[in-house]
Amino acid sequence: MQSSKEVNGRGVLLLKETAAASASLRCRLRCCNLFLFLLACLSFCTMSEAQQNEYSKAQQAYATGRFREAADLFGRVSEAENTNPAIQQSDAELMQARSLMHTAEQAQAEAALRHYAQRHPASATALYLLARLLQTQNKPRESLAALTDAARLAPPAAEDLRIASLDYVLLNDYGDALQWSKRAVASDPANAEAWYDLARVQMHDGRYEDAIQALHRSLAVRPTSAKALDNLGVCLENQNRNDDALAAYGDAVRATVGANRPSALPFRDEGKLLVTRNAFAQAAPLLVRATELDATDPSTFATLATAYLGLQQTAAARTAMERAVSLDPKNPRLHYQMARIYRTVGEQALAEREFKQSAAMYGNTSAE
């Protein structure tokens, strides 16, 4: 495994090689891209009618999000090309790998990209795609290596610079992550994800005002991004601008309407802030929705228990806190809160047990 120093060295190498890309190289690349486009047109024309139909079906499947079907169709076209030397090669093999990247078959996608890159060593596209895939698989060192190899062939796009930033986040190197995020937004100021990632890095460093500015840039491109609105609320709350934070959280909650997989975070974050204001009636429905979307977060259940207590719904509070403790049984604070609820509902033996367990976990006498 590479050391952190070696990884940083590769990152510096990528930075230098990217910066050194000349206008002449870009001109040659534009010519090369034009040539490849013409070649793709030619290869489409040299396909049989059946292959043209198969390729067109594959393109349609990809465009409409039917990625598993697209992968199979592109695979059949690619197989026909590989077994018949008379057929001009198209991008079917690479498109098969692209399609697989959108499915659960990530190992197959990685194998397809590595195979394509081996057969086409001059393909920067394959290497950049491989880097993106490896980043999503939590393989930052391998991703950075692929980015470095790709940068030798062609300058990275903003999205590739963003991937480099995310790799360094995974390596807990927020200094380099910040630099690559800045390069990404400079390369493409309209990249909402790059601005969002920059904000997340700045939030990690406690630079909330800078993060707010970055999130506003992200929202200028994508105004209904629930995650950007939610993180805006987090930044504002950390600046004690709680009214503004609640407004941002509310916008984030509304932005989840119609989403295929809405996040629990806007509901949780707005609910928690409302609980601090004793707005229990407003908070409870939000927190209930958060637990429906994510039933694995003990802090949400604990906050919901507090809201129920504020509403004098002790039975519901007990159920919510018992769920929180079951999710995080080694948390002494949760055991202490559980003890107080048991005492409230008259379960003195259970309360004593929880107080003792909390004290043992803290390593001293619990402050009952």
Rounded Cα–Cα distance for residues 202 and 211 (Å) = 5
In the chain, domain spans: 24-155
Q: Which of 139, 44, 131, 61 is nearest to 96 (CA)?
A: 61
Q: Which tokens hold the place of 113?
A: 């990209």
Name the CATH superfamily for 24-155: Tetratricopeptide repeat domain (1.25.40.10)
Please name the amino acid found at residue 219. L
What span, in angstroms and rounded, lies between the C-alpha atoms of 285 and 308?
Answer: 10
For position 364, what pLDDT does the model report? 55
Cβ atoms of 328 and 344 closer than 8 Å = no
Which of 265, 327, 322, 318 has its CA nearest to residue 290?
A: 265
Distance CA 90, CA 59 (A): 13
197 contact partners, CB below 8 Å, separation of at least 6: 162, 165, 166, 169, 181, 184
Contacts of residue 190, defined as CB under 8 A and 6 or more positions apart, other chains included, come to 221
Torsions phi, psi of 67, nearest 5? -70, -35
Residue with the two structure tokens 């980043």: 135
| Dihedral sign, Cα of residue 4, residue 5, residue 10, residue 16 | positive
pLDDT per residue as tens, the chain (368 positions): 344 444 555 454 444 444 444 334 344 445 445 544 544 554 444 556 767 788 889 889 999 999 999 999 898 888 877 666 555 566 888 999 899 999 989 999 999 999 899 988 999 999 999 999 999 999 999 999 999 999 999 999 999 999 999 999 999 999 999 999 999 999 999 999 999 999 999 999 999 999 999 999 999 999 999 999 999 999 999 999 999 999 999 999 999 999 999 999 999 999 999 999 999 999 999 999 999 999 999 999 999 999 999 999 999 999 999 999 999 999 999 999 999 999 999 999 999 999 999 999 988 544 44
Helix extents (H) in 171-264: 174-187, 192-204, 208-221, 226-238, 242-255
Question: What pTM value is reported for the model?
Answer: 0.79
- Structural contact between residues 252 and 229, judged by C-beta atoms closer than 8 angstroms: yes
